[in-house]
Amino acid sequence: MRSPNRDALVEENLGLVHACANRFRGKGIEYDDLFSAGCLGLVKAADGFRPELGYAFSTYAVPAVLGEIKRLFRDGGAVKISRSLKTRARQAAALRETLTHTLGREPTISELAERLGIPICEAAELVNLSQPVISLTELHEDAERQTDIPVPSGEEEIQNSLALDEVLQKLPETDRKLIELRYYRGLTQVRTAEALGLTQVQVSRRERSILAELRRRLTG
């Protein structure tokens, strides 16, 4: 039986899967397939997560999500699955084919999940399991050996982004708002000062202080 906490972790961290999948856009695999593989990794991470160890779930999940996405490029995602999952995957594949004929296009994962009456991530997992093995390799002229196409991991950038978000959440509200206005919305120091009811000089000084503190926390 599934743990309610496991389902909550999956639902709350779908954005993490999108962040990871976006790193591989334009690399030869459809985005839905990247997302499906990432969801499979997210489910595995939720199953194995142990909060008592003190790690944030996002830190634990990123390698698992990226690992499943990379598997698509490495060996087509050939994973051993149970008979029941194979049956459900075939049912999902059949429904996907029917919807493709009805809609005149392939259904999105959201549409498929709605028709199956299951969560989006579960539908994505079933679609991923039904995918055929693909080959993304360069064949040499002599046809005797192949060279793997390099795929950037993107793991370090995602981990850095997650670490920054975590540190920002620990800042006082005014400091967090200042950073949001300056670096996420691109406001000038003058406009930021107006929004916060401060002077431009105060914003400038506070900004330098906050950045120094963020640097200290992130680098230890």
pLDDT for position 160: 64
pLDDT in tens, 133-150: 444 444 444 444 444 444
Which tops the pLDDT comparison, 47 or 55?
47
Beta bridge pairs of residue 139: 146
Fold of 170-219: Arc Repressor Mutant, subunit A (1.10.10)
- For residue 81, is pLDDT > 80? no
- Delimit the CATH 1.10.10.10 region(s) of the chain: 170-219
Cβ-based burial of 92 (10 A; exposed 0-12, middle 13-18, buried ≥19): buried
Cα Dmax for the chain: 70
- For residue 183, is pLDDT > 50? yes
Question: Which pTM does this prediction carry?
Answer: 0.40
pLDDT for position 85: 66
Q: Tell me the H-state helices in 13-117.
A: 14-22, 31-48, 57-75, 83-103, 109-116
- For residue 34, is pLDDT > 70? yes
pLDDT for position 157: 62
Average pLDDT over residues 199-219: 86
pLDDT in tens, 114-131: 888 887 777 777 776 665
- Delimit the CATH 1.10.1740.10 region(s) of the chain: 4-134
Fold of 4-134: Rna Polymerase Sigma Factor; Chain: A (1.10.1740)
